[in-house]
Protein backbone atom coordinates (compact mmCIF):
# COMPACT_ATOMS: atom_id res chain seq x y z
CA UNK A 1 0.00 0.00 0.00
CA UNK A 2 1.50 3.27 -1.14
CA UNK A 3 1.37 6.35 1.05
CA UNK A 4 -0.28 9.47 -0.27
CA UNK A 5 2.13 12.34 -0.82
CA UNK A 6 1.94 15.06 1.78
CA UNK A 7 1.49 18.53 0.28
CA UNK A 8 3.34 21.08 2.35
CA UNK A 9 1.85 24.53 2.43
CA UNK A 10 4.16 27.43 1.83
CA UNK A 11 5.01 29.15 5.12
CA UNK A 12 3.51 32.63 5.19
CA UNK A 13 3.35 35.47 7.65
CA UNK A 14 1.05 38.06 6.15
CA UNK A 15 1.11 40.18 9.30
CA UNK A 16 4.90 40.45 9.19
CA UNK A 17 4.80 41.26 5.47
CA UNK A 18 2.29 44.03 6.03
CA UNK A 19 4.20 45.41 9.03
CA UNK A 20 7.38 45.37 6.97
CA UNK A 21 5.70 47.42 4.26
CA UNK A 22 4.31 49.89 6.81
CA UNK A 23 7.77 50.31 8.33
CA UNK A 24 9.21 50.92 4.87
CA UNK A 25 6.48 53.46 4.12
CA UNK A 26 7.26 55.18 7.44
CA UNK A 27 10.93 55.56 6.48
CA UNK A 28 9.91 56.98 3.10
CA UNK A 29 7.61 59.46 4.78
CA UNK A 30 10.47 60.52 7.05
CA UNK A 31 12.65 61.08 3.98
CA UNK A 32 10.13 63.33 2.27
CA UNK A 33 9.20 65.04 5.55
CA UNK A 34 12.84 66.08 5.83
CA UNK A 35 12.77 67.42 2.28
CA UNK A 36 9.52 69.27 2.95
CA UNK A 37 11.15 70.82 6.01
CA UNK A 38 14.13 71.98 3.92
CA UNK A 39 11.69 73.38 1.36
CA UNK A 40 9.78 75.26 4.09
CA UNK A 41 12.93 76.84 5.50
CA UNK A 42 14.10 78.14 2.12
CA UNK A 43 10.56 79.13 1.15
CA UNK A 44 10.43 81.30 4.26
CA UNK A 45 13.81 82.86 3.43
CA UNK A 46 13.11 83.51 -0.27
CA UNK A 47 9.31 83.84 -0.73
CA UNK A 48 9.59 86.10 -3.78
CA UNK A 49 11.98 83.83 -5.66
CA UNK A 50 9.93 80.74 -4.85
CA UNK A 51 6.80 82.45 -6.13
CA UNK A 52 8.65 83.45 -9.32
CA UNK A 53 9.89 79.89 -9.79
CA UNK A 54 6.38 78.47 -9.41
CA UNK A 55 5.14 80.80 -12.16
CA UNK A 56 7.69 79.23 -14.52
CA UNK A 57 6.28 75.72 -14.07
CA UNK A 58 3.53 74.19 -16.20
CA UNK A 59 0.43 74.14 -13.97
CA UNK A 60 -1.62 72.35 -16.65
CA UNK A 61 0.74 69.37 -16.74
CA UNK A 62 0.97 69.36 -12.94
CA UNK A 63 -2.82 69.37 -12.62
CA UNK A 64 -3.19 66.63 -15.22
CA UNK A 65 -0.66 64.48 -13.40
CA UNK A 66 -2.56 65.00 -10.16
CA UNK A 67 -5.77 63.73 -11.75
CA UNK A 68 -3.91 60.79 -13.34
CA UNK A 69 -2.42 59.72 -10.01
CA UNK A 70 -5.75 60.03 -8.21
CA UNK A 71 -7.34 57.79 -10.85
CA UNK A 72 -4.48 55.29 -10.52
CA UNK A 73 -4.88 55.22 -6.74
CA UNK A 74 -8.55 54.39 -7.22
CA UNK A 75 -7.92 51.66 -9.80
CA UNK A 76 -5.24 49.90 -7.73
CA UNK A 77 -7.62 49.84 -4.74
CA UNK A 78 -10.38 48.45 -6.97
CA UNK A 79 -7.96 45.85 -8.32
CA UNK A 80 -7.21 44.58 -4.82
CA UNK A 81 -10.93 44.41 -3.99
CA UNK A 82 -11.63 42.52 -7.22
CA UNK A 83 -8.87 39.99 -6.48
CA UNK A 84 -10.14 39.45 -2.94
CA UNK A 85 -13.55 38.66 -4.43
CA UNK A 86 -11.99 36.18 -6.86
CA UNK A 87 -12.50 38.34 -9.97
CA UNK A 88 -9.08 37.73 -11.54
CA UNK A 89 -9.83 39.36 -14.90
CA UNK A 90 -11.06 42.62 -13.39
CA UNK A 91 -8.10 42.70 -11.03
CA UNK A 92 -5.70 42.37 -13.96
CA UNK A 93 -7.49 44.97 -16.09
CA UNK A 94 -7.56 47.48 -13.24
CA UNK A 95 -3.88 46.88 -12.53
CA UNK A 96 -3.04 47.50 -16.17
CA UNK A 97 -5.00 50.76 -16.05
CA UNK A 98 -2.98 51.76 -12.98
CA UNK A 99 0.27 51.03 -14.80
CA UNK A 100 -0.97 52.96 -17.85
CA UNK A 101 -1.65 55.96 -15.59
CA UNK A 102 1.91 55.67 -14.30
CA UNK A 103 3.23 55.76 -17.88
CA UNK A 104 1.10 58.83 -18.60
CA UNK A 105 2.46 60.54 -15.48
CA UNK A 106 6.07 59.83 -16.46
CA UNK A 107 5.45 60.91 -20.05
CA UNK A 108 4.00 64.22 -18.86
CA UNK A 109 6.95 64.67 -16.54
CA UNK A 110 9.29 63.95 -19.46
CA UNK A 111 7.58 66.69 -21.50
CA UNK A 112 7.79 69.14 -18.61
CA UNK A 113 11.41 68.40 -17.80
CA UNK A 114 12.28 68.33 -21.51
CA UNK A 115 10.99 71.87 -21.92
CA UNK A 116 13.20 73.04 -19.06
CA UNK A 117 16.21 71.24 -20.46
CA UNK A 118 15.69 72.92 -23.85
CA UNK A 119 15.73 76.27 -22.07
CA UNK A 120 19.06 75.24 -20.55
CA UNK A 121 17.52 75.04 -17.10
CA UNK A 122 18.70 71.87 -15.36
CA UNK A 123 20.98 71.08 -12.38
CA UNK A 124 24.55 72.15 -13.05
CA UNK A 125 23.75 74.08 -16.23
CA UNK A 126 25.28 77.48 -16.97
CA UNK A 127 21.83 79.09 -16.80
CA UNK A 128 21.12 77.58 -13.38
CA UNK A 129 24.40 78.89 -12.01
CA UNK A 130 23.45 82.42 -13.09
CA UNK A 131 20.21 82.39 -11.11
CA UNK A 132 19.81 84.26 -7.85
CA UNK A 133 20.25 82.09 -4.77
CA UNK A 134 16.55 81.85 -3.95
CA UNK A 135 15.65 81.02 -7.55
CA UNK A 136 18.44 78.45 -7.72
CA UNK A 137 17.29 76.77 -4.51
CA UNK A 138 13.74 76.53 -5.81
CA UNK A 139 14.74 74.74 -9.01
CA UNK A 140 17.27 72.51 -7.28
CA UNK A 141 14.55 71.36 -4.90
CA UNK A 142 12.07 71.05 -7.76
CA UNK A 143 14.30 68.79 -9.83
CA UNK A 144 15.47 66.73 -6.86
CA UNK A 145 12.10 66.19 -5.18
CA UNK A 146 10.06 65.59 -8.34
CA UNK A 147 12.87 63.40 -9.70
CA UNK A 148 12.90 61.35 -6.50
CA UNK A 149 9.13 61.04 -6.73
CA UNK A 150 9.41 59.88 -10.36
CA UNK A 151 11.87 57.20 -9.19
CA UNK A 152 9.26 56.02 -6.70
CA UNK A 153 6.74 55.88 -9.53
CA UNK A 154 9.07 53.57 -11.48
CA UNK A 155 9.61 51.33 -8.44
CA UNK A 156 5.84 51.17 -7.94
CA UNK A 157 5.34 50.21 -11.59
CA UNK A 158 7.83 47.35 -11.19
CA UNK A 159 5.98 46.06 -8.12
CA UNK A 160 2.63 46.23 -9.91
CA UNK A 161 4.06 44.48 -12.99
CA UNK A 162 5.30 41.67 -10.74
CA UNK A 163 1.79 41.47 -9.27
CA UNK A 164 0.33 41.22 -12.79
CA UNK A 165 2.61 38.30 -13.68
CA UNK A 166 1.97 36.56 -10.35
CA UNK A 167 -1.81 36.90 -10.77
CA UNK A 168 -1.56 35.46 -14.29
CA UNK A 169 0.57 32.64 -12.97
CA UNK A 170 -1.89 31.96 -10.18
CA UNK A 171 0.50 32.47 -7.28
CA UNK A 172 -1.35 35.63 -6.25
CA UNK A 173 -5.08 35.01 -5.86
CA UNK A 174 -8.09 35.57 -3.60
CA UNK A 175 -6.53 33.54 -0.80
CA UNK A 176 -3.05 34.99 -1.16
CA UNK A 177 -3.02 38.64 -2.13
CA UNK A 178 -0.41 40.20 0.17
CA UNK A 179 1.90 41.13 -2.73
CA UNK A 180 -0.84 43.18 -4.37
CA UNK A 181 -1.96 44.67 -1.06
CA UNK A 182 1.57 45.84 -0.27
CA UNK A 183 1.96 47.11 -3.82
CA UNK A 184 -1.28 49.08 -3.44
CA UNK A 185 -0.06 50.54 -0.12
CA UNK A 186 3.16 51.66 -1.78
CA UNK A 187 1.22 53.18 -4.66
CA UNK A 188 -0.99 55.15 -2.27
CA UNK A 189 2.21 56.51 -0.71
CA UNK A 190 3.38 57.68 -4.15
CA UNK A 191 0.03 59.37 -4.67
CA UNK A 192 0.11 61.01 -1.24
CA UNK A 193 3.60 62.44 -1.80
CA UNK A 194 2.48 64.06 -5.06
CA UNK A 195 -0.56 65.56 -3.33
CA UNK A 196 1.95 67.55 -1.25
CA UNK A 197 4.45 68.22 -4.04
CA UNK A 198 1.91 69.64 -6.47
CA UNK A 199 0.66 72.62 -4.41
CA UNK A 200 4.10 73.33 -2.94
CA UNK A 201 5.77 73.77 -6.33
CA UNK A 202 2.96 74.65 -8.74
CA UNK A 203 0.41 76.59 -6.69
CA UNK A 204 2.65 78.52 -4.33
CA UNK A 205 1.74 82.20 -3.89
β-strand partners of 12: none
pLDDT per residue as tens digits for the range 105-125: 999 999 999 999 999 999 989
Separation in Å, CA 30 to CA 16, 23, 86: 21, 11, 36
The per-residue pLDDT for 13 is 61
Q: Establish how many alpha carbons lie within 13 A of residue 23's alpha carbon, considering only the half-sphere containing its beta carbon.
A: 6
pLDDT per residue as tens digits for the range 47-79: 999 999 999 999 999 999 999 999 999 999 999
Contacts of 102 (CB under 8 A, 6+ apart): 72, 153, 156, 157, 160
pLDDT over threshold 50, residue 9: no
The per-residue pLDDT for 205 is 67
Fold (topology level) of 58-202: 1.20.120
Q: Yes or no: say if 109 and 190 are a contact pair by the CB < 8 Å rule.
A: no
Query: If 0-12 CB within 10 Å is exposed, 13-18 middle and 19+ buried, where does residue 124 land?
Result: exposed
Distance CA 53, CA 201 (A): 8
Distance CA 200, CA 96 (A): 30
Amino acid sequence: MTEKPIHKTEPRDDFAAKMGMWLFIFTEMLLFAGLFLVYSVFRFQYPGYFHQGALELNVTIGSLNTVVLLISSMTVAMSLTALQKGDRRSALNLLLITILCAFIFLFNKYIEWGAKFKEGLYPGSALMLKLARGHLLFFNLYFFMTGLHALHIIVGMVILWIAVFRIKKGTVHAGKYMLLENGALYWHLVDLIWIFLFPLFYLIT
